[in-house]
Each structure stands twice: as C-alpha cells, then as structure tokens.
Amino acid sequence: MSKSKGSLENTAVLHMLCGKIASGKSTLTKHLARTENAVVISEDVWLTHLYPGEIRTLEDYVRCSVRIRRVLSEHVQALLSAGVSIVLDFPFNTRNSRAWGRELFSGAWVEHRLHYLDVSDDVCKARLRARNASGEHPFKATDAEFDQITQYFVPPSSAEDFYIVLHTPEG
C-alpha cells in the first residue's frame, strides 16, 4: 500500500488492538502511546463520558459503540492524514470491527499495525477479577459477561491481510 497520496511521505501509523477482555489492551495502549509518539483514542473513555450509567447490556454497548465509531471515523482519518499516529483503544475483535479499521487507514493512506494479544481465557479472567477489585477501570465485567462477550471474539487471520503484531503473556 502506498504511504501517501502525493509527494509528501506520511509516516503516521494507525495502531489497532485485538484481544479478549483483560488481555492487556489498555496497558499496551499506554505503552504504544509512549514508544510510538501516538495519540490515544479510548472507546472506554468515550463510553463512560457520553453514556454514564446507560450501558447495562451487550446490546447497549453495541448501540453506543456504533455511534462513537460513526462520529470518530472522519476525525481519525483527518488526524492520520495530517501525520498524527493514533492508537485506537477499541476492541478490533471481529471481522466487522477490523473492516472499520481498514477503512480508516486505507482512507487516510497510512500504515497500520493490528496488535493481537493472544491470552488464554483463564489468564484474562484472573486479570479481570483483579481489575474489578482495584476499581481503576471504568467498566467491570463478571466471568459470565466475559464468557458472553468472548463468544463473539474472532482472532485475526492471515487471510484478512493485516500487518499483525503478536503479543503473548510470555513476551
């Protein structure tokens, strides 16, 4: 893929994260923001501030998330086109969500990285319980909610033609 539309080279990169709940996406986001000189746009922050107390079900989450993505798409592409690297702290956990990411980086003519956090359910659930107990994360989820949401998780495949950066608990 060409990196720019014209003669100026655009070095911006869109970083996307794919991983189950509590796999470490938000932690990796903070690391990428520092090391890649990138701006973070966090779905959890937007959901918390725009829909306080309104997200009680998976359907509520999907409805609100779709609205946020619709509003942010043009803005994200404008930032990328202006040369600003972005870490989207959104779950790119389905083919449809990854198709949205593809629209963003393709429309802005920039490079991308799909960071795939390959972490087992057991490790994620242990992290989730610790995160819930700490109270530091804006959203809490039970083991049952983890299971409900994880049934929709689809790991990225090479057939989707993303530049995948694999992250495992072992490093």
Could you read off the pLDDT of 65-82 as tens digits, one per residue? 999 999 999 999 999 999
Q: What is the pLDDT of residues 32-57, one digit of tens each?
A: 999 999 999 999 899 989 999 898 88
Q: Is residue 139 part of a domain?
A: yes
Quick check: 6 pLDDT over 70?
A: no
Apex CA 161: angle with CA 155 and CA 163, to 5°? 80
Q: What pLDDT score does 138 carry? A: 67
Q: Is residue 66 part of a domain?
A: yes
Give the pLDDT band (50/70/90) at residue 171. Answer: low
CA 83 centroid distance within chain: 20
The pTM for the full model equals 0.88
Q: Is residue 60 part of a domain?
A: yes
Quick check: 109 pLDDT over 50?
A: yes
Give the pLDDT band (50/70/90) at residue 139. Answer: confident
Average pLDDT value for the chain: 90
Q: Which of 22, 35, 20 is nearest to 113 (CA)?
A: 35
Q: Is residue 3 part of a domain?
A: no
Q: Is residue 2 part of a domain?
A: no
Q: How many domains does the chain have?
A: 1
Q: What is the pLDDT of residues 7-37, one digit of tens each?
A: 346 799 999 999 999 999 989 999 999 999 9
Q: What pLDDT score does 1 carry? A: 40
| Count of CB atoms situated within 10 Å of the CB of 53 | 6
Q: Is residue 73 part of a domain?
A: yes
d(CA 140, CA 105): 31
Q: What is the CATH number of the domain that holds 80?
A: 3.40.50.300
Domain boundaries, position 104: 13-167
To which residue do tokens 């530049």 refer?
163
Q: What pLDDT score does 145 carry? A: 87
